[in-house]
DNA sequence: ATGGCTGCCGAGGGCAGA
């Protein structure tokens, strides 16, 4: 069973690329972030025609998450329970006995901004909710755009980024606290090439120069990690015309 | 060097992303 995550930076623009990618990579589950579409505009029929059911939670202009699945999506949850949030950043569903949680973690903008405080509070609420989810669902996968590069090895120029949003110590501490719930970073369960990233700035030919960050992750519970067979970052969509700035991450369970 | 692209909304540039 393959599970994937992809921040598409507008599903309206990227739908053809998503459909092409699914045709070439017929994963069981694909989590999307930054769909930037209201639910009324979500391309449910196009995805169904491609063999994928979907659940989604979107809004105009910003944010928006979705889970696409070949099999039925049960026990659908929108948002973090008890955490009041206008922003559509979380959707979860149970698929084939696996609790799939799709997240678009706030960016934080800069460490001295209100958005950074919101990011840290949001991550704390996520952690608290997931502690209960893990007790309920031993087979759990947390996929998405975390907007955190957990280690310096996930950053093309750690010195330049030191203390910055996406790499700051409080954010990394929040990432580690997710691991402490009993989750594993599936990418790091396997030998990987150095300088493996999932996002590259659109500017300054960052992709061509591989000036990127690894901020899209698939964390999996111990029960899933025990039989996880691989995790890869698929850079090919980043090479297309008009790409998303993020590229898919795929775990094979 | 704080920009550099891209998408959004909506009709021109400003905001946000990371």
Check if the beta carbon of residue A197 is closer than 8 Å to that of residue A216: no
DSSP code, position A69: E
Alpha-carbon span A179 to A157, nearest angstrom: 24
> What is the arrangement of strands in the sheet containing A183-185, beginning at the earlier edge strand?
A74-78, A90-95, A98-104, A140-145, A216-221, A183-185
What tens digit of pLDDT does each residue of A124-168 get?
Answer: 999 999 999 999 999 999 999 999 999 999 999 999 999 999 999
Model confidence at A223, pLDDT cuts 50, 70, 90, reads: very high
pLDDT tens digit sequence for A99-124: 999 999 999 999 999 999 999 999 99
What is residue A82's predicted lDDT score, i.e. its pLDDT?
A: 97
The one-character DSSP state at A132 is H
In angstroms, the CA A231 to CA A251 distance is 4
Average pLDDT over residues A176-203: 98
The tokens for A39 are: 């639910």
Nucleotide closest in space to A198 (CA vs C1'): B18
Q: Are A45 and A62 in contact (CB under 8 A)?
A: no
Spatial separation of the C-alpha atoms in residues A61 and A152, rounded to whole Å: 32
Q: pLDDT above 70 covers what percent of chain A?
A: 100
- Predicted pLDDT of residue A25: 98
The C-alpha atoms of residue A230 and residue A170 are separated, in whole angstroms, by 29
User: Could you list the protein residues whose CB lies below 7 A from any atom in strand B?
Assistant: A 7, 9-10, 12-13, 34, 36, 60-62, 106-107, 109-110, 115, 145, 147, 165-166, 199, 201-204, 213, 215, 242, 245-246
pTM above 0.95, yes or no: yes
Distance from residue A1's CA to nucleotide B2's C1', rounded to whole Å: 44
Catalytic residue among A104, A116, A137, A197: A104
Q: Is A62 known to be catalytic?
A: no
A34 is in an annotated binding site: yes
Answer yes or no: A217 catalytic: no
pLDDT in the model for residue A38:
97
Look over chain A and give the mean of its residue pLDDT values, rounded to a whole number: 98
Which of the 8 DSSP states describes residue A57?
E
Active site residue A246: yes
Strand partners, A51: none
pLDDT for A13 equals 97
Q: What percent of chain A is predicted at pLDDT more than 90?
A: 100
């Amino acid at each position: 069973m393959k599970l994937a995550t992809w921040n598409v930076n507008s599903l309206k623009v990227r739908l053809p690329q998503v459909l092409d990618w699914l045709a070439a990579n017929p994963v069981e589950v694909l989590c999307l972030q930054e769909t930037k579409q209201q639910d009324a505009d979500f391309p449910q029929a196009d995805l169904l025609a491609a063999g994928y059911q979907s659940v989604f939670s979107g809004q105009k202009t910003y944010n928006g998450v979705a889970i696409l699945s070949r099999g039925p999506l049960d026990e659908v949850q929108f948002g973090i329970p008890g955490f009041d949030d206008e922003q559509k950043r979380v959707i979860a569903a149970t698929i084939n006995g696996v609790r799939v949680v799709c997240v678009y973690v706030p960016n934080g903008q800069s460490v001295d901004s209100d958005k950074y405080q919101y990011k840290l509070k949001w991550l704390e609420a996520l952690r608290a909710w997931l502690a209960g989810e893990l007790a309920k669902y031993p087979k759990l996968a947390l996929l998405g755009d975390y907007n955190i590069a957990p280690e310096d090895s996930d950053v093309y120029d750690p010195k330049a980024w030191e203390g910055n949003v996406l790499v700051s110590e409080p954010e990394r501490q929040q990432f580690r606290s997710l691991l402490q719930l009993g989750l594993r970073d599936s990418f790091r369960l396997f030998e990987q090439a150095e300088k493996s990233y999932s996002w590259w700035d659109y500017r300054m030919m960052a992709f061509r120069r591989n000036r990127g960050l690894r901020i899209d992750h698939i964390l999996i519970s111990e029960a899933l990690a025990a039989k996880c067979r691989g995790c890869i970052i698929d850079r090919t969509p980043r090479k297309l015309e008009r790409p998303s700035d993020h590229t898919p991450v795929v775990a094979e369970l």
